[in-house]
Amino acid sequence: MDRKILALDLDGTAVDDSGKLGSLSKQALIAARQKGHILCFVTGRRDVDMVPLGEDDRFADYLILNNGGKIISTADGRILKNELVDKEEAKILISYCLQKDYLLYILSGMYWAINKITPRTQSYIEELGIQPDLYHSLADVEYDRIEGFTVTSDGKEVSAFLDRADLNLEYVASEPTCIDIMKKGVNKWNGLKALADSLAIPVAQTIAVGNYDNDIDMLTHAGIGIAVQNALPDVKAAADYVTLKDNNHDAVAEIVEKFMISPSS
């Protein structure tokens, strides 16, 4: 049997609306690993955003975080890839958001910083149980290893700025009220392809699963692209297969059974 990589988006795909893997999904992932397949979670989340997942990340062999910018082996915590934002370009974006009073999350590993606290950020602080740094000027920011940024309430304005600016940055919507900003060229497919190459697994043996716009590139380039039933219409249109079940009803179990456990796999 040829090994396959199953690359699962997390929010709205592998996990339910409460942010947890269903019991049937867990059983299916264990079965897929026992068959020798490789499992990875491919997400826009940063390291700090993985905290609410708890120990559920142990069901994957690899984590591809930051929309493809960072690859971590769950077995030993090794970082296999990490794309960082240029310091000077980071300063330009941060300066713009400070000037306009736009909320900008700065993220790198377990470090996160924000320039103001809103009811939404306060709620997230309480969920994580990790206090962010609060910055009010460029002097307050750690620039050495910025992995990316997130914008919530001011996404439209910040994305318009990035469209005008000549920066080596790009953005993608990861949910309706959230855009993630990364180094140009970072996307989920490039992250998955880098992992597949490092494991000498052909693209034809990759299966990518998602539900949102930032998953489309991964779905269209993988050997098989799958959209879960609750995916956006344009994501379904880009997929080779659409599950019968949604993220709240263990779509992952359906995928594993159909594409990885069947005798033909």
For the entire predicted model, the pTM comes to: 0.95
- The total domain count for the chain is 2
User: Do 160 and 173 share a structural domain?
Assistant: yes
**For position 265, what pLDDT does the model report?**
45
- Contact, 103 vs 178, CB < 8 A? no
Residue 261 is given by DSSP the state I
- Confidence at 49, pLDDT banded by 50, 70, 90: very high
Give the H/E segment covering residue 81: strand 79-82
Residue 132 is given by DSSP the state P
The 10s digit of each residue's pLDDT in 213-229 is 999 999 999 999 999 99
User: Do 190 and 78 share a structural domain?
Assistant: yes
Place of tokens 């979670």: 41
- Domain containing 225: what range? 5-82+186-261
User: Do 249 and 229 share a structural domain?
Assistant: yes
**For position 1, what pLDDT does the model report?**
56
User: Do 206 and 235 share a structural domain?
Assistant: yes
User: Do 65 and 132 share a structural domain?
Assistant: no
Separation between Cα atoms, residue 30 and residue 156, nearest integer Å: 41
User: Do 94 and 173 share a structural domain?
Assistant: yes
Give the H/E segment covering residue 219: helix 216-221
Task: Give the pLDDT mean for 147-163.
Answer: 95
The 10s digit of each residue's pLDDT in 200-216 is 999 999 999 999 999 99
- Contact, 19 vs 11, CB < 8 A? yes
- Is residue 78 exposed (0-12), middle (13-18) or buried (19+ Cβ within 10 Å)? exposed
User: How many of the other CB atoms lie within 10 Å of CB of 262?
Assistant: 9
| pLDDT above 70 as % of the chain | 98
User: Do 174 and 93 share a structural domain?
Assistant: yes
User: Do 76 and 10 share a structural domain?
Assistant: yes
Assigned token pair, 232: 């956006």
Sign of the Cα torsion 214, 216, 217, 223 reads positive
Task: Give the pLDDT mean for 110-121.
Answer: 94
Residue 143 has pLDDT above 90, yes or no: no
CATH of the domain at 45: 3.40.50.1000
CATH of the domain at 99: 3.30.1240.10
